Amino acid sequence: MSVRLVKVSIGLVFSEVASSIETFLKEFHQIDESSEDSITHWVKIARAKGDTQDTDPVLLNLIVELHRKVDAIEKLLRNEEPKRLSLAGKAEIESIGFEHFKLSEDVLEEGMEYYGRVTMPVHPKRDLALFFTAVDKSLAKITKIHKRDENEWGAYLTARERVLIREAKESRE
């Protein structure tokens, strides 16, 4: 099987699914819901009403991100850190494709299903939850991911590919 992958460096924490599927599914859905905070909800409603059509989109995004940062600082001061499951394994993702990723070490068991969290190196930083199956000891196929996260994963992959193409062109000149 030939899988096209692009070089990256992303951290992954993961655990075998085994008998804890319900626990992992609960966190999987909570992570998606936490990305839908009150300010995001408000902006969606305002856009649907047409209230943002005269607003500069870049400025709006910056203000929304500032609001999120203030919320994060408030949570930190109140000691309200999001509760995440403790996952057994930790590895570095060395390359990604649209449906696959490859770890820098052979830590997976072929055919085993896993649950994992990836902190995407994009703005704004956030956790991405996914389920995956080990194709071999270091290659995994993503089996379940939220639609928004799938779009972000694909956009990051495309951006990394562009950077690598640009670097290759520059090195030939």
For range 49-71, the mean pLDDT: 83
Alpha-carbon distance values, 74 to 3, 24, 95, 123 (Å): 44, 27, 36, 20
* Cα–Cα distance measured from residue 137 to residue 103, given in angstroms and rounded to the nearest whole number: 9
What pLDDT score does 122 carry? 75
Give domain limits for the chain.
6-38+86-172
Whole-model pTM: value is: 0.75
What pLDDT score does 173 carry? 75
pLDDT bin (cut points 50, 70, 90) of residue 99 is: very high
CA torsion 92-95-97-101 (nearest 10°) is: -40
What pLDDT score does 33 carry? 61
Numbers of helices and strands, H then E, in the chain: 4, 6
Is 83's pLDDT higher than 80? no
Is 169's pLDDT higher than 80? yes
Q: Give the residue with greater pLDDT, 72 vs 124.
A: 72
pLDDT bin (cut points 50, 70, 90) of residue 61 is: confident
| Contact of 85 with 27, CB cutoff 8 Å | yes
Query: pLDDT digit string (tens) for 121-144?
Result: 876 677 899 999 999 999 999 999
What pLDDT score does 36 carry? 55
Residue 136: partners with Cβ closer than 8 Å, 6 or more residues away: 108, 110
Q: Which helix (H) or strand (E) holds 84?
A: none
What pLDDT score does 3 carry? 83
Lowest mean pLDDT among 54-58, 111-115, 151-155: 54-58
Q: Which two tokens stand for residue 168?
A: 């290759």
Fold of 6-38+86-172: Thrombin, subunit H (2.40.10)
